[in-house]
Structure 1
Amino acid sequence: MSEISVPEDRREALGLLARAPAARLVQLLPDLPPHETLRAPEIGTVMVRGRAGGTGSAFNLGEITVTRASIRLGSGHVGHGYVQGRDKGHALRAAAIDALGQAEPRATQSILETLRCEEQQRRAQTAAEAAATRVEFFTLVRGEDE
């Protein structure tokens, strides 16, 4: 089975939209553009696979809940939204921003840049909090070890 080719910038955008807080998408896109619903938001599960040590053989880790939606704008551009969890509005807004990004990339540039900066800030804060708990281990040299 061949993999569908998705441009890297769209792949990054879909990831940003999926990871963004749902409430933030409502703030950034309060009103959905006129659209036709191709796939109403629906909730399902997806099997998550893992690898022991990141390199071992793959195994089924478990299932997570996801919500997906697909819309078509009047221009004919189709957008898809897949988000973790059960938030139908989040999936619908992600699909709308995806479709708008294809129809007019500059229209969504500010939304995506805002989400990118906020994600970087969240990651930096998480890293700083983790670094604050770091423990330094050291070994004392005893006289008999020389």
Structure 2
Amino acid sequence: MREAANEQRRRWMSVLAKAEASEIEDAWSRLRQVPAYIFLRRPETGLVMVRARAGGDGRPFNFGEMTVTRCSVRLDDGMIGHAYVAGRNARHAELAAALDALLQDDGRGRALRVEVIHPLAAAQERRRMTEGRKAAATKVDFFTVKRGEDQ
């Protein structure tokens, strides 16, 4: 049971982190009841090392550094939320952390997943599909033709 809850939380934290800041702000403004919260860790920006693998499955190597902003909040009811977002947008990290805390609440979480997470995930999928179509439109296939005198 705990693993399923962790997987569900991992998914919504990913959606919140990948959402556009304006989408998070819009979702927050549409909440019926905006909760009060305090900062456990105010938004702070730093660098993380991004690791990659050659060819996707080769030996890992340090690809480079990436700027991230993190934040942790506690709602008045005691629920704690955390967020890490790419870039320097402190408000995005703050609201993502507050939404993470709200989503953990059994009473509010189910409705919030339908009202906030599902639309954000759908918007991200639409963007991914649009970018994929744009990339496919510019794809170049290289091939070689064997010449007769090269035998």
TM-score above 0.5, yes or no: yes
2:139 to 129, 134, 138: 134
1:134 to partner: Cα distance:
2.5
Question: Whole-Å Cα distance in 2 between the matches of residues 131 and 29 of structure 1?
Answer: 35
**RMSD (CA atoms):** 2.1
Q: What is the letter of the counterpart of residue 10 of structure 1?
A: R
- Give the unaligned 5+ runs of structure 1: none
| Secondary structure, counterpart of 2:66 in structure 1 | strand
The aligned length equals 141
Q: CA deviation at 1:138?
A: 6.4
Question: Within the alignment, does 1:24 sit opposite 2:23 as a pair?
Answer: yes
TM-score normalised per structure 2:
0.83
2:13 aligned residue: 14
Seen in structure 2, the aligned counterparts of structure 1 residues 138 and 52 have a Cα distance that, compared at 3 Å, is closer
| 2:26 aligned partner, one-letter code | Q
For 1:118, the equivalent position in structure 2 comes to 123
Percent of residue pairs identical: 46
* Pair 1:64 & 2:66 matched: yes
- Return the alpha-carbon distance in structure 2 between the equivalents of residues 121 and 10 of structure 1: 22
TM-score between both structures, scaled by the size of structure 1: 0.86
Q: Secondary structure in 2 aligned to 1:115? A: helix
